[in-house]
Structure 1
């Protein structure tokens, strides 16, 4: 197997880790790469997964974790999973939307009212349908954690009206529905891997970005951003995704232990992320960010301005799936 990495640093790291040869010639060492910081709840959940897996299998299965972009950014991690160079990754679901466009049905703007609604959606029929699409593309979804409601930060001014979004150069994930939504509300969205965001904000290449509070905190984006809002424009998931062939290469007992360990880790992360969300926002304010809540009036204007994106999504991935999401969310 040969792989093309995007920087000399990544090439050196790959050689050191043996990524230029199949890692799973023996199925007992399962390698997972992630771009989330080591202290993010998802990375800590993956540590629990690794501990549980080793315990349940009496050491027959072990998981080796590489968080905090040790194997590259989110896009590179996804390529490594797709090729089978690593077993899996815990990754923001938007990075998979170009491979599985149907995942954009989870990106309806201003559609989610609570994390409970979000979990009910992904744990139900909609999640089953999306898992089938992922399998067709060569992936297995091992579980869905919380990334959370996404909020805009910027260096230009507080966001108090829809006009304040006009022409702001905002970094977004590589998700077409996300990009279209921000164009619809007047902003100038830029798709960029998270590994490049801090530097781009520091250099003034971007005016702002959008992320859950936990990511803004753990990535220390408050060091290069002044204004914080609570737009909550999308709810976002972290999917633990694995190479389908590698998962199918495990024995039935091994797959059962894999899923059991992951189920516990996902449940722990969801509970932990919910508890840490408000704390992360307060930490950002304590560090000096100016927090300005979005009024109900402005939120409704943003919702109305972005509804054309929903119609475009119906045409792109099919009205049945989009309408199923809307029905289940009551949006």
Structure 2
């Protein structure tokens, strides 16, 4: 009997150990606070937990694991398994995806932004680019066209941006330079303090970020139709960690991407944009619109030169830049 009990105890212990062995926890590095920009990460964590019966958990941290400009570095050394970052924070580290940040590409919806991003993410050159950081691109964080909120006198014409300090990253910053603005690159979490202290007089953001990071609390004007472009902010995973998952856990993660993105888009197009108009009105923020002729001139001055410079620079660095650019612009022309 004693011998039987010992065997039973050993079997139970072995079962418990086996169960423990398949349990998986990943740390996820985000920043700021839960908002429209992170809705898909929150959703995928929920879906993975449900699909695996709690055996695979994504522990989301808002700033507790890394500075947002260092999330890709953290992924590369395995400091955490999943993270979000924005390409414009370090263009030299992820040049392939910066094609999506070129000004005036003409992207018309979040759904289109997802299609373009996933096509670029799956291109062999992009896969190789991110592999340098032991990173696998999981999904984008699709954002609408950026516009600018600022303090002081509202610009009556594009010439009024001359000398204005603007927080603008990537291609948006390059576009603003063409109208004489002085772009400054800083992370979103630094923007409110910079605006309060006068380091910048205006900030280019998508609507959710203007609300989340408080720029509309002291802004006096907002450009309604400048629409110079957007930024690309992927969610990435550590490649070794992804490869180390069991088949079931990997499927739970990868198989939840589409649903997480659908949730993100529904939330952004719904609750976020519904709150935007009233947020401006409650604060008495002036809406600034530019004429069609001014926007056309802005696009002509910014789009083609920025694209040509991007292609030249990245082709010289060994990237198939023309191919990536043609793929993106071709998909947009086809209405993809």
TM-score range, shorter chain: 0.7 to 0.9
Q: What SS does the corresponding residue of 1:145 show, helix, strand or coil? A: coil
Aligned counterpart, 1:266:
261
Q: What SS does the corresponding residue of 2:65 show, helix, strand or coil? A: coil
Structure 1 stretches of 4+ moved >6 Å: none
| Structure 1 residues 294 and 91, CA gap change in structure 2 (3 angstroms) | farther
How many pairs does the alignment contain? 302
Aligned counterpart, 1:118:
113
| Structure 1 residues 188 and 223, CA gap change in structure 2 (3 angstroms) | same
Aligned counterpart, 1:279:
274
Q: What SS does the corresponding residue of 1:146 show, helix, strand or coil? A: coil
Aligned counterpart, 1:229:
223
Aligned counterpart, 2:313:
316
RMSD: 2.2
| Structure 1 residues 65 and 238, CA gap change in structure 2 (3 angstroms) | same
Deviation per residue, 1:210-238 (Å, 9 max, x gap): 00011101111112322111322113343
Residue among 47, 55, 58 paired with 1:60: 55
* Structure 2: unaligned runs, 5 residues or longer: 1-20, 315-320
Q: What SS does the corresponding residue of 2:195 show, helix, strand or coil? A: helix
- Is the Cα–Cα contact under 8 Å of residues 98 and 232 in structure 2 kept in the other structure? no
| Structure 1 residues 220 and 32, CA gap change in structure 2 (3 angstroms) | same
* Structure 1: unaligned runs, 5 residues or longer: 1-24
Deviation per residue, 1:4-45 (Å, 9 max, x gap): xxxxxxxxxxxxxxxxxxxxx99711111112422x123333
Q: State yes or no: 1:217 paired with 2:211.
A: yes
| Structure 1 residues 241 and 27, CA gap change in structure 2 (3 angstroms) | farther
Aligned counterpart, 2:6:
none
Q: What SS does the corresponding residue of 2:163 show, helix, strand or coil? A: coil
- Is the Cα–Cα contact under 8 Å of residues 285 and 291 in structure 1 kept in the other structure? no
- Is the Cα–Cα contact under 8 Å of residues 121 and 328 in structure 1 kept in the other structure? yes
Deviation per residue, 1:32-89 (Å, 9 max, x gap): 1112422x1233332222221111111211111112x333431133332222111111
- Is the Cα–Cα contact under 8 Å of residues 25 and 58 in structure 2 kept in the other structure? yes
Give the TM-score taking structure 1 as reference length: 0.84
User: Could you tell me how far 1:136 is from its partner in structure 2?
Assistant: 4.2
Where do 1:140-219 residues align within 5 Å?
140-173=136-169, 175=170, 177-219=171-213
User: Could you tell me how far 1:132 is from its partner in structure 2?
Assistant: 4.5
Aligned counterpart, 1:17:
none
Q: State yes or no: 1:35 paired with 2:31.
A: yes
Q: State yes or no: 1:46 paired with 2:49.
A: no
- Is the Cα–Cα contact under 8 Å of residues 26 and 57 in structure 2 kept in the other structure? yes
